[in-house]
Amino acid sequence: MSARRYRDDYGIPHLRAVDHTSLAFAQGQVTALDRAWQIEVERHRAQGTSASFLGVEAVAWDSFARRARLDDTARRCHAALDPATAEWVGHYVDGVNDALAAGAARAPEFAATGLRPGRWQPWTPLALWLSHHVLFAGFGTKLWRDLVARQLGPAAARLFAVDNHVTSGSNGWLVAADRTAAGAALIAGDPHRFIEAPGIYQQIRLACPEYDVVGFAVPGVPGIPHFGHAGAVAWAITNAMADYQDGYAERLRRRGDRVEAYGPDGWRLAHRHVETIEVSGAEPVEVEVIETERGPVVSGGPDDDPATTISLRYPPRVLGELGFAVLPALLRARTVDDVDAALDGWVEPVNVVLAADTVGGLLHRVAGRVPRRHPDNGRRVVPAWGADHAWQGWHDMPSAPVGQVAVMANERGISAGLGVEFAPPYRAERIRHLLDAVDDWQAGQMASVHTDTYLAAAGPLLDLLATLDGLDPAAAGLRDRLLAWDRRMAADSVDAAAFADLRAAVTRRLAAHPALAELAEPPGYPEVFRPWLTLTSRVGYAVISLLSADLPGLDRADLLRGALAEIAAADDTRPWGDRHRLLPWRALPDPAAPPGPALAGDHDCVLATSSVPGVTDLCLRGPTARYVWDLARREDSRWVVPLGATGAGPHRDDQLPLWVDGELITVTCDWDRLTEEHDD
């Protein structure tokens, strides 16, 4: 037997193989067994074929995937892989294909939709990676800024900048050896993404004579790309908030069956073909796929409003490279220098990385590809015919020395020169404050940082409330309660709920203000970009900036008084957790499913369970995993995910109570404490 499969008490797979490629096959197998429905949905999404079994609701994404040419880009990137990496990825794909039918038999969604498991191609893992990350870099925000600039003037776009509002993101921190009880570094954190069922991160252990790594895999992708502990070295990432994708306003015209695009050198022939999307329960949909010299056209076309005809330029399409050779190199890493050297080949997404090893090495760097180009490219959609908006090579990736503590929380910092908008500093500052309070950290103490609910971001709105006068007694009482509130978004806190209600009321009133009326109905961008273009959600993340702005006709004090009076009159005494509940995304939603568990936290708490102010208090995005990597003793490391290790069966959601309560599972490293699993 070339590989053996073990499970711990939570069903987490531990794989042991005779060599590197056999282990890749075993990882593909166990992923197909545990996550068949999930990875088949993602394969179809990457191909733009998910509407064939999910119906009309999936057409918008399928159309984008076709127009953005995700599958074709994955084929190009796979063709450029070095032979050893291509072989490794191929063995993973072979493992998926070997076990997919058995995995589908365990997943009831296949029968519910009539979907039959298909056959994975050698490039399918690369296509899944692209599908997960193609809209990670803020392309949709450029569409929003462009809309605001056209409707309200260029200066107004800054009103909605991420730095000026609360939004969720990922946390990560490193505590050096001289600040830990065991005398070796600790790395901890929690990636924040849309919470999906099954989860985006797969706890796994991969062991062969060359290496033995525990960490989080992305189902459908080999290796452990983002968060791993190899015994001698460990690593973790957060989103660098770098700007590495551009939108180009295109002028297109038809010439018979051909399409031409106007660029710096005049009219040039564009690539054009038509694809058909099969739709369950509806007629097929034809999609015209056009690609100019800038990139694929993902909005509009030759017959549409030129203001919304836009191409997307993104590094994997330009380079024909995703950086997949980094993945096996990370598995083999033994020192931070190995991690550092491996990450020089990374492409997308652009990440901030922390790493530490058992001989005292520390690493804090950015990894990825960010093009050099005109500053306006980062701020808005730029004209395709402007030669000064062409890409001009690539930025060098910055690094920084590590002192006693290093923190990464999407804020301006090490990657400041690579982006335009970053998360506010609240989470990063709070993490540093918490870490500075202890001189002898242990792995088991780190959950207190993961679950901190202090909302420093509430301060600016509360400061504005303190200046109000002329309030009726009920509104004055609510104002005084909120000013005395401890600013903790605890699940059992009525005052936390009152603050959220007030923020939502202010959001709705601002969104309805005539000064912003021209943004209420965005132009005809494709549906897939709607989350970036919805006025109420944009306002909800920019309340303080908008209240501080010189908007025509805005009486800030009057608006705040009205919002306070509204919430005081409602006299809602339900605690925050009653309405702040988990709502994972499911490819096949269950309308009869009960509400998820009550949650603590909020956007800019360290416990960044994110909702959409003014739209919903339900948590759509939050910590999709938590981890603590202990470099003194790997067996003292901890991890947890929001649901469970598998997509079906007893381990589908058995970690959920732990995740809600902020508890972590100790990583099992002793093979004798695991249960071997056999296919028969």
Given this model, what pLDDT does residue 165 score? 41
Query: What is the average pLDDT across 462-471?
Result: 95
218 vs 678 pLDDT, higher one: 218
Cα separation, 363 vs 326, in Å, equals 16
Query: What is the average pLDDT across 55-76?
Result: 98
Cα separation, 641 vs 654, in Å, equals 10
Cα separation, 482 vs 466, in Å, equals 10
Q: What is the CATH number of domain 139-166+454-581+603-611?
A: 1.10.1400.10
Query: What is the average pLDDT across 472-477?
Result: 96
Our CA angle for 418, 422, 426, nearest 5°, is 140
Quickly tell me which residue has 């590590």 as its tokens.
402
Written as one string, the DSSP assignment of 600-634 is: ---TTSSS--EEETTTEEEEEEEES-EEEEESS-G
Pairing type for strands 13-17 and 252-255 reads unpaired
Given this model, what pLDDT does residue 175 score? 98
Task: Tell me the sheet residues that pair with 362.
Answer: 356
Terminal Cα distance for the chain, rounded: 14
> Structure pTM?
0.96
Query: What is the average pLDDT across 173-188?
Result: 98
User: Which is nearest to 189 in space by CA: 523, 574, 625, 562?
Assistant: 625
Q: Phi then psi for 475, rounded to 5 degrees?
A: -65, -40
User: In the chain, what are the domain boundaries?
Assistant: 1-134+637-669, 139-166+454-581+603-611, 246-315
Q: Is the CB of residue 104 less than 8 Å from the CB of residue 40?
A: yes
pLDDT at 136 over 90: no
SS3 589: coil
pLDDT at 164 over 50: no
C-alpha separations of 445 from 184, 601, 662 in Å = 15, 19, 11
Quickly tell me which residue has 């599958």 as its tokens.
71
Given this model, what pLDDT does residue 166 score? 41
In percent, the amount of the chain with pLDDT more than 70 equals: 99
Cα separation, 382 vs 137, in Å, equals 16
pLDDT in tens, 340-358: 999 999 999 999 999 999 9
Cα separation, 172 vs 114, in Å, equals 41
Given this model, what pLDDT does residue 162 score? 61
Query: What is the average pLDDT across 641-655?
Result: 96
Please name the residues in contact with 357: beta carbons below 8 A apart, sequence gap of 6 or more: 232, 233, 234, 334, 335, 336, 631
Given this model, what pLDDT does residue 1 score? 65
Question: What average pLDDT does the structure give for the chain?
Answer: 95
Our CA angle for 282, 194, 238, nearest 5°, is 140
CATH of 246-315, one of 2.30.120.10, 2.40.50.100, 3.10.180.10, 3.40.50.620: 2.30.120.10
Please name the residues in contact with 519: beta carbons below 8 A apart, sequence gap of 6 or more: 147, 148, 151, 152, 535, 538
Given this model, what pLDDT does residue 512 score? 96
Distance of CA 596 to the CA centre of its chain: 21
pLDDT in tens, 29-58: 999 999 999 999 999 999 999 999 999 999
Residue 521 pLDDT class (50, 70, 90 cuts): confident
Please name the residues in contact with 672: beta carbons below 8 A apart, sequence gap of 6 or more: none
pLDDT in tens, 382-404: 999 999 999 999 999 999 999 99
pLDDT in tens, 224-247: 999 999 999 999 999 999 999 999
Q: Phi then psi for 606, rounded to 5 degrees?
A: -55, -40
Burial class, 514, CB count within 10 angstroms (exposed 0-12 / middle 13-18 / buried 19+): exposed
Burial class, 251, CB count within 10 angstroms (exposed 0-12 / middle 13-18 / buried 19+): middle
Given this model, what pLDDT does residue 163 score? 55
Q: Amino acid identity of 444?
A: G
Residue 306 pLDDT class (50, 70, 90 cuts): confident
Pairing type for strands 246-249 and 382-383 reads parallel
pLDDT at 194 over 50: yes
Cα separation, 613 vs 503, in Å, equals 7
Distance of CA 556 to the CA centre of its chain: 34
Burial class, 549, CB count within 10 angstroms (exposed 0-12 / middle 13-18 / buried 19+): middle
Q: Which two tokens stand for residue 550?
A: 């010189």
Given this model, what pLDDT does residue 161 score? 74
Pairing type for strands 202-208 and 13-17 reads parallel
**What CATH fold (topology level) applies to the domain 1-134+637-669?**
Penicillin Amidohydrolase; domain 1 (1.10.439)
Query: What is the average pLDDT across 404-420?
Result: 95
Cα separation, 49 vs 65, in Å, equals 9
Q: Which two tokens stand for residue 242?
A: 């770098």
Longest dimension (CA), the chain: 79
H/E element, 428 = helix 426-436
Query: What is the average pLDDT across 437-455?
Result: 97
